[in-house]
Amino acid sequence: MKGRIVSISGATIRADLAGAKVGDRVYVGTARLTGEVVRLERDMATIQVFEEVRGLGVGEPVVSAGGPLAVSLGPGLLGGIFDGLQRPLTVLRSQGGDFMQSGQDSFPMDRTTEYRFETECRPGDEVQTGDPLGWVMEGHIRHPVLSPVGGRISKIHAGLATLETPLVHFKAGDAVKLWHAWPVRQPRPRKTRQVPGVPLVTGQRCLDFLFPLLKGGVAIVPGGFGTGKTVLEQSIAKFADVDVVVYVGCGERGNEMAGLLDEFGDLRDQKSGRPLAERTIIVANTSNMPVAARESSIFTAVTMAEYYRDMGLDVLLLADSLSRWAEALREISSALEEMPGEDGYPTYLGSRLANFIERAGVVETTTGAQGSLTMILAVSPPGADFAEPVTQSCLRVAGTLWILDTRLAHRRHFPAVDWTQSYSLYSEHAASHFADRHTGWGGVRDRCRDLLQREESLREVAEVVGMEGLQERDRLLMEMAERIRLDFLCQNSFTEDAFSSPQATVERITRLIEEYDRALGQLDTGATLEEVLREAKDATF
């Protein structure tokens, strides 16, 4: 299908393109810019271009790619850094310099790398769609090659193969290769959906202990400007106990993404001992890249995440930030002159977000393995107003909420997680899981929460009557709660303390609670508060 540009308005163009479908990927102009058909009126297609349109002229050709926007999936994605259209940024940079040029197209994986294809299939075997044909290893990850069709195998290649080597031939149709394309907006198939059951250890005491997340669950991290969203997500990207991490930088600062890459180069994964970069995929759509590609970037990322989930792995997708993504959606929608909804966002904001977030979960894969896709999504509402549509739409579908509080961040209490308003629907389940493995987890957790809650109400009383007006036992409680805040809830991401294992977490809080009980006992046996506190201060934690 081929047509011509009729009009151009910003990144939105109209072209006569008979036979196109909504969602089709198109190449626009002589520069072959990537775009997507977003609306059709008879033969007139409205196309959202994902790249810089400067220099584009009316009358230039528009060619349909004959299918929807898709990503390429195969071994070699790990360790890669891509833009929102899955173009490899390191390769583009070596071709075109630091500033990306419009229309540059490049395959996301290395076509020359050789993998050893192992198979138990033989010519003459009959297979069904989705049956495993064989596998290759990408580092320590086993990639099954699944049959895209059913039929009788006529020829099969075993041994070294590149991405383009024809591996399995059927009587009819093309040969199966190591890679295939998958439409980004279509969830990948699975057998069944399962209920999440295993906690995802983030290494952050306050999160794992008070507001845990389960593998396959979704956590939302709303926080105002400078409250530590990026530092928290990057820290979790380093330490989370998962097999693969997909990190989407959506409209964030380019230098932060570059810093992340540099750091990952030197760090090792705690579980496998291999370089951290080997388990990480980065999708970068920084604030200086075209806005429209930001909209597709989260779908590009989630499709790659699902691909690894389908191998029976635990995958974590981190996005920073969905507010920047929603702003892109708003900009596109207003260019299309659609009816605006709340705060100018399109009325389909909630459903589009749900399309993305619903792809998280624990699944039984088509090959019978169990894989999980967990999401941690930062939201940066303007003015830290959590009543706005993006935060609210996310909340409807998330099981865990980690609110970052501006006042805590100002006091340099990091991570600035507000323990009075954050919650996790998985709390009880995760606590019983941890309690089976780490003695004390359940009881100490209840004590800790109770202490923090009582401190809140005592603080209100103290504001009226002053600290001196409180009873000694209450003053002791205030002192110990402060200690829990400083020694337990605070965790500096730039020191050795950046990661805390569940065992270290429960030991630390147990020591603090025991200290509190001892001090209470001393008060009861006649010691003065000053004496008790002096002794507690000398205790080392």
178: DSSP letter: S
Sequence-distant (6+) residues with CB within 8 A of 337 are none
In 3D, which of 385, 387, 389, 380 has the Cα closest to residue 344?
389
In 3D, which of 508, 434, 43 has the Cα closest to residue 201?
434
The residue count for binding ligand ATP (CB under 6 A) is 14
Q: Which stretch binds Mg ion (CB under 5 A): 225-233, 322-330, 418-426, 468-476?
A: 225-233
Helix, strand, coil percentages (3-state) for the chain, rounded to 5, are 35, 25, 40
- Decide whether 84 or 399 has the Cβ nearer to Mg ion: 84
Residue 380 site contact among ligand ATP, Mg ion, none (CB < 5 to 8 Å, cut-off depends on kind) = ligand ATP
Write down the least CB distance from residue 491 to ligand ATP, Å: 6
- Decide whether 69 or 401 has the Cβ nearer to ligand ATP: 401
Write down the least CB distance from residue 423 to Mg ion, Å: 23
Q: Is 309 in the site for ligand ATP (CB under 6 A)?
A: no
Q: Is 493 in the site for ligand ATP (CB under 6 A)?
A: yes
Q: Using CB under 6 A as the criterion, what x/- string covers residues 214-253 for binding ligand ATP?
A: ---------x-xxxxxxx----------------------
- Decide whether 280 or 286 has the Cβ nearer to Mg ion: 286
Q: Exposure of 466 by Cβ count < 10 A (0-12 exposed, 13-18 middle, 19+ buried)?
A: exposed
Residue 227 site contact among Mg ion, ligand ATP, none (CB < 5 to 8 Å, cut-off depends on kind) = ligand ATP
Amino acid occupying residue 182: W
> 230, 303, 391, 491: which one contacts Mg ion (CB under 5 A)?
230
- Decide whether 215 or 229 has the Cβ nearer to Mg ion: 229
Give the chain's length: 541
User: Rounded CA gap, 351 and 349, in Å?
Assistant: 6
User: Rounded CA gap, 51 and 32, in Å?
Assistant: 10
Question: Structure tokens of 343?
Answer: 């705060």
- Decide whether 148 or 226 has the Cβ nearer to Mg ion: 226
Question: Structure tokens of 147?
Answer: 């049959």
Amino acid occupying residue 250: C
3 state SS for 320-363: ECHHHHHHHHHHHHHHCCCCECHHHCECCHHHHHHHHHCCCEEE
- Decide whether 231 or 281 has the Cβ nearer to ligand ATP: 231
Q: Is 541 in the site for ligand ATP (CB under 6 A)?
A: no
Write down the least CB distance from residue 210 to ligand ATP, Å: 16
- Decide whether 231 or 248 has the Cβ nearer to ligand ATP: 231
Write down the least CB distance from residue 492 to ligand ATP, Å: 4
Write out the residues near ligand ATP by the rule CB under 6 A.
Answer: 223, 225-231, 380, 414-415, 492-494
